[in-house]
């Protein structure tokens, strides 16, 4: 496609843009990325990509210095570098240099010489979930990045079935061991997962027709729903809110420290249970993934359904966000996001084997519900 065609395609996406439709902004993001890739001179494109690291460090600096917090507390008002200095205790000249980057990348507005005001990105980044996301993408990633060359050199050809994850190589322990003792990182990790589920994911029970399935069946006993690795219970709570009168047993399973950190009161039907999904299941009715799924499959009945709320990657032309998620999984745990073919291959190797029944998706959601059952 020539330059005019690329710009015309972007214009069409802009004309159809609806800020309240998640699929709409995803199409816009993809179209903007395409314009950047095809029209920005390669030497400029690659330079800007390299400098993303500096931008992210500046976001961390602004957060740690309290600049986002101070600006967010004065929404609609302009604050000078001197004002920010008086509140945060940091040098005004340093603040001005940091804010030069922060405003350039759109995380605050510049209203005059060394004068700033909060915008939507300022408020968003000051949210606990996004602060947690910054811990994941910077604090946890940077040590891996600093040793990735040595990791590749020493572990060539890097067969992940035989090689430790890059995180383990860099830190000398698994990410789960780190999170078990680093309270700040663990809190950030949990806050980010909770926020992502609340704001960027369509509830699983709105993708999967659970209401129709419950209405169609004659229930001889209360249905049991077990959320394995369910973090702080967002998904089960949203299910409980949607079906307030349903008699059911809702079991939330995650690591003890995650269960202990649940921020508020959950529905009375939800039973938080400390559980490591690498161990055998106690609730009835690639190696790590196979082990997790096998532990679940071993307690399933013929009528049981295992619903996996996960990404299914496209075979070609995957988005940057979903590709990034796959690489984070690789760096941290040797895990992966999968295509549908790869999901079928994995399910067939589970003991006892599982089979894919149907994939349920919603427009604009990064994840879908993969419905599985015991293979016949």
Encode pLDDT of 158-217 as tens digits: 998 889 999 999 999 999 999 989 999 999 998 998 888 777 788 889 999 988 887 766
**Separation of CA 310 from chain center:** 11
pLDDT band at 288 (very low <50, low <70, confident <90, very high): confident
**How many Cβ atoms from other residues are within 10 Å of residue 18's Cβ?**
10
The CATH number of domain 3-125, selected from 1.20.1260.10, 1.10.10.10, 3.20.20.70, 1.10.760.10? 1.10.10.10
Give the E-state strand segments of the chain in sequence order. Answer: 79-80, 109-112, 115-117, 224-228, 249-254, 270-274, 306-310, 312-313, 338-339, 354-360, 368-374
Cis status, amide bond into 352, omega within 30 of 0: yes
pLDDT in tens, 110-145: 999 999 999 999 999 999 999 999 999 999 999 999
Rounded to the nearest integer, the mean pLDDT of the chain is 90
- The rounded distance, in Å, linking the Cα atoms of 376 and 373 is 9
- The rounded distance, in Å, linking the Cα atoms of 249 and 270 is 7
Radius of gyration of the chain (CA): 23
Q: Domain ranges for the chain, please list them.
A: 3-125, 127-186, 201-276, 281-375
Write the DSSP assignment of 361-375 as a string of letters: --TT-S-EEEEEEE-
- The rounded distance, in Å, linking the Cα atoms of 105 and 116 is 13
The CATH number of domain 281-375, selected from 3.40.449.10, 2.60.40.650, 3.40.50.150, 3.40.50.1000? 3.40.50.150
Give me the mean pLDDT over the 92-97 stretch. Answer: 98
The pTM assigned to this predicted structure is: 0.82
**Structure tokens that stand for 318 in this block:** 């995957």
pLDDT in tens, 216-234: 665 567 888 989 888 889 8
Instruction: Give SS3 for 280.
Output: coil
Instruction: Give SS3 for 177.
Output: helix
Instruction: Give SS3 for 273.
Output: strand
């Amino acid at each position: 496609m020539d330059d005019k065609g690329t710009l015309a395609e972007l214009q069409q996406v802009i004309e159809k843009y609806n800020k309240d439709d998640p699929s709409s902004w995803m199409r816009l993001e993809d179209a903007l990325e395409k314009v950047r890739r095809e029209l920005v001179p390669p030497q400029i494109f690659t330079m800007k990509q390299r400098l993303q690291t500096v931008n992210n460090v500046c976001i961390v600096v602004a957060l740690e210095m309290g600049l986002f917090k101070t600006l967010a507390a004065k929404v609609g008002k302009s604050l000078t570098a001197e004002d920010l200095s008086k509140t945060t205790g940091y040098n005004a000249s340093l603040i001005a240099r940091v804010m030069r980057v922060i405003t350039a990348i759109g995380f605050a507005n510049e209203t005059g010489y060394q004068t700033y005001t909060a915008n939507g990105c300022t408020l968003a980044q000051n949210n606990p979930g996004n602060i947690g996301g910054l811990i994941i993408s910077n604090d946890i990633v940077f040590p891996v990045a600093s040793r990735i060359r040595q990791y590749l050199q020493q572990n060539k050809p890097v067969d992940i079935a035989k090689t430790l994850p890059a995180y383990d190589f860099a830190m000398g322990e698994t990410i789960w061991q780190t999170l078990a003792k680093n309270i700040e990182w663990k809190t950030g990790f949990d806050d980010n997962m909770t926020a992502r589920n609340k704001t960027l994911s369509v509830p699983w029970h709105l993708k999967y027709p659970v209401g129709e399935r419950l209405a169609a069946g004659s229930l001889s006993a209360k249905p049991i729903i077990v959320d394995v690795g369910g973090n702080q219970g967002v998904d089960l709570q949203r299910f409980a809110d949607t079906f307030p009168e349903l008699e059911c047993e809702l079991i939330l399973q995650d690591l003890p420290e995650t269960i202990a950190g649940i921020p508020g009161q959950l529905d009375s039907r939800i039973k938080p249970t400390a559980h490591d999904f690498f161990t055998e299941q106690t609730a009835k009715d690639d190696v790590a993934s196979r082990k997790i799924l096998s532990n679940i499959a071993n307690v399933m009945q013929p009528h049981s359904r295992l619903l996996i709320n996960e990404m299914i990657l496209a075979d070609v032309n995957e988005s940057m966000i979903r590709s990034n998620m796959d690489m984070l999984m690789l760096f941290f745990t040797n895990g992966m996001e999968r295509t549908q073919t790869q999901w079928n291959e994995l399910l067939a190797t589970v003991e006892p084997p599982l089979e894919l029944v149907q994939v349920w998706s919603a427009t604009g959601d990064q994840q879908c519900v993969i419905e599985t059952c015991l293979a016949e």
